[in-house]
Amino acid sequence: MSQDLIEKSRKYLWLPFTQMKDYDEHPLIIESGEGIKVKDVNGKEYYDGFSSVWLNVHGHRKQELDDAIKRQLEKIAHSTLLGMTNIPATELAERLVALSPEKLTRVFYSDSGAEAMEIALKMAFQYWKNIGRPEKQKFISMQNGYHGDTIGAVSVGSIDLFHHVYGPLMFDSFKAPIPYVYRSESNKPEVCRDDCLKQLEHLLIEHHDTIAALSIESMVQGAAGMIVMPEGFLSGVRKLCTKYEVLMIVDEVATGFGRTGKMFACEHEGVQPDLMAAGKGITGGYLPIAVTFTTEEIYQAFYDDYSTLKTFFHGHSYTGNQLGCAVAIENLRLFEQDQIIKQVTQKAQILHELLQPLMELAHVGDIRQLGFMCGIELVQSKETKESFPKTGRIGYQVSLKMRELGMLTRPMGDVLVFMPPLVSTAEELQAMVNIIKRAIEEVTEREL
């Protein structure tokens, strides 16, 4: 049975972000999950060390979440949000607005983080047109940024490996530098931060008249390799956006819903975005719901008689899906009941202590962490910070070894990603860190 399924997967599927030749060599089919583990069709169990791509909160098959979906299913699975609404989408909107930074008072639903970003970009663009400043059409985005894979989101992204090939399809955006302290000349957070803010200000001085918005991940650049921004950077960007009349779009798709120890990572710096995208953990990792938050000021710029054509002409078939919104409401109730934010804050400290000994390994150059979002950068030489040769795909090899040892994750180049479900216990964190350590040792020692 399992071999038959594996053959079918090889024959019919095309998987996201996957060189299918790699998949053919290392096929994997998940059959079930329980708590923070998943099981494949051969009965082998794995820790979900990357929360099924950064989104699981309460573990798999959480009874309350399963029940919320079943209860909703007794009423209706889906009806449209075009020109009307439904009960869970309405109730969830109220809860989300209450949880989000104060200035954000409206929510617009979609189905993925990329769409939530796409919507934020289009809203920002049209906002200026609607208020009579159509010359503000351009965007500033951050070097190494990642906001998803639709063309708009890719246009404000800048991970060369993913985005380069689509260059001719993208709209231009100005790129501002990001403080990647480990790879900066000074290696000092404040110096690196101030230098980047200065460069951003130069860009704004020169171009602010034509700039609609700036897009930035919140506190951590995930796909770039878990690059944690130094204290004062995000709030510095906020100040500059305000000073130069540029809307600030904050991407909380990866960082939102408790991942960094706050409900939204921008709370670490008291930042109030003008637009904010969220997704992933919103349903506890169950169903595809995403959301774009906006201020009342932006909302009001679209509110008028139909004949003015200020309407936001954007929507998706499954926007505001009842099953997704129902499970999101239950997820938020569990956040409160189980004090998830407090749990993450406390266990992040334990995780920090568990990870520190890895710095002693010969090829661990840097460990970056904010809450339950961790990256371990592997280097050939700790002294010179020289990377491993690209052809060796060291991050991929170590992640394959982890799989063999019973834990799933996906690297970002040479950076190992560790983002366990937020309910992982101290013992489970220890067991997963043990696997990471063993995998790094076995692979890098073999490489030597």
Residues making contact with ligand PLP (CB under 6 A): 54, 112-114, 117, 146-148, 217, 222-223, 251, 253-254, 279
Closest approach of Cβ 145 to ligand PLP, in Å?
8
The amino acid at residue 164 is H
Sign of the C-alpha dihedral computed for residues 154, 156, 159 and 161 taken in this order? positive
Closest approach of Cβ 292 to ligand PLP, in Å?
12
Residue 57 or 440 having the CB closest to ligand PLP: 57
Of 379, 372, 371, whose CA–CA distance to 395 is shortest? 379
Residue 249 or 432 having the CB closest to ligand PLP: 249
Q: Which residue is nearest to ligand PLP (CB)?
A: 113
Residue 114 or 433 having the CB closest to ligand PLP: 114
Torsion of CA 261, 265, 270, 271, to 10 degrees: 180
Coil, strand or helix at 319: coil
Contact by Cβ (8 Å): 173, 139: yes
Closest approach of Cβ 282 to ligand PLP, in Å?
10
Contact by Cβ (8 Å): 2, 42: yes
Contact by Cβ (8 Å): 85, 320: yes
Closest approach of Cβ 110 to ligand PLP, in Å?
9
Half-sphere exposure of 241 (CA within 13 A, CB side): 25
Residue 140: what are its φ and ψ, rounded to 5°?
Answer: -110, 135
Residue 47 or 54 having the CB closest to ligand PLP: 54
Residue 48 or 217 having the CB closest to ligand PLP: 217
- Contacts with 265 (C-beta within 8 Å, 6 or more apart), sequence order: 218, 219, 220, 252, 255, 256, 259, 370
Closest approach of Cβ 149 to ligand PLP, in Å?
6
**Strand runs labelled E in 352-406:** 364-370, 373-378
Closest approach of Cβ 306 to ligand PLP, in Å?
31
Residue 69 or 216 having the CB closest to ligand PLP: 216
Closest approach of Cβ 113 to ligand PLP, in Å?
2
Residue 244 or 286 having the CB closest to ligand PLP: 286
